[in-house]
Amino acid sequence: MFRNITPVVQNLLLINIVVFVLASFVFPVLDEWFALYNIQSAYFKPFQFLTYMFMHADFWHLFSNMLGLLVFGPLLEQFLGPKKLFALWMVCGVGAGVLYTGYSLYEYKNMEEKVLAFEGNPDPEYFNKLVLENRGYFSPEVFDFVDQYSRNPEDPMYIDRAEKTLDAILRLHANAPMVGASGALFGILVAFGMLFPNTQLFLLFPPMPVKAKYLVGAYALYTVYNVLLNSSTDNVAHFAHLSGLVIGAVLVYFWKKDRNSFY
């Protein structure tokens, strides 16, 4: 595997590993600067659309993304050429960040409307509904408060606490950062599946061979399922993964129509 590594794949691996080491052990502030924040966050900067894809949450996050690049990237680079492999990685990564930011902005505005609706007409049942929808943001103690509030629906103290709780969740929605090269990697995956659909890949879990087109298709369906599920307890940016898949598929579709453009 390492003997067949190609130049662009090698450079991307090195950059991601070096940035991870620097952010983890030398300059931890890089995580705050270079992660991608929602547009409505005070921490948002436009350059984060590029930098977030070189940041990773932990070693296993980095390992899984770089392993995917190492497995699928070299053959794609040999077929597409280094310029197109690099363009595929960057366009899918940046594009996934842009689309995810639009999606997260929509979710934030939707949550903001619900918070304003509660503040305009405080109601324990509606508060309980919002807590259940966003239970991934709460500690278990909030459910004790829900019970207390439901027994004292007119008490100003409980209403004030409920409003402050929802405002805190709104701030968390605004300031939740995204990191990782998964959007770019999913572009690589879909490109591999479209260009080498019948290539046999051997899975480790379960240990069995599978064609690339079926593996990519399974990933795509799983990603769509998680986007539709939209669980607040899941901290994976599935919409960014889906965005990378779609952008990668569109790029490869047009490249395949003009086969003379491969270099």
CA 69 to CA 63: how far, in whole Å?
10
Q: How far is CA 159 from CA 103, 122, 124, 129, 168, in A?
A: 30, 7, 9, 15, 14
Note the pLDDT tens digit of each residue in 10-41: 999 999 999 999 998 999 888 889 999 988 88
Instruction: Determine contact, residues 219/189, Cβ cutoff 8 Å.
Output: yes
Q: Both ends of the chain: CA-CA distance in Å?
A: 23
User: According to the model, what pLDDT value does residue 141 have?
Assistant: 79
Note the pLDDT tens digit of each residue in 42-87: 899 999 999 999 999 899 999 999 999 999 999 999 999 999 999 9
Considering the chain, tell me which residue range(s) the CATH 1.20.1540.10 domain(s) occupy. 2-105+180-261
Angle at which helices 59-80 and 7-21 cross, to 10°: 160
Which segments in the chain show pLDDT lower than 70? 1-3, 205, 231-235, 259-263
CATH fold for domain 2-105+180-261: Rhomboid-like fold (1.20.1540)
User: According to the model, what pLDDT value does residue 232 have?
Assistant: 63
CA 161 to CA 150: how far, in whole Å?
13
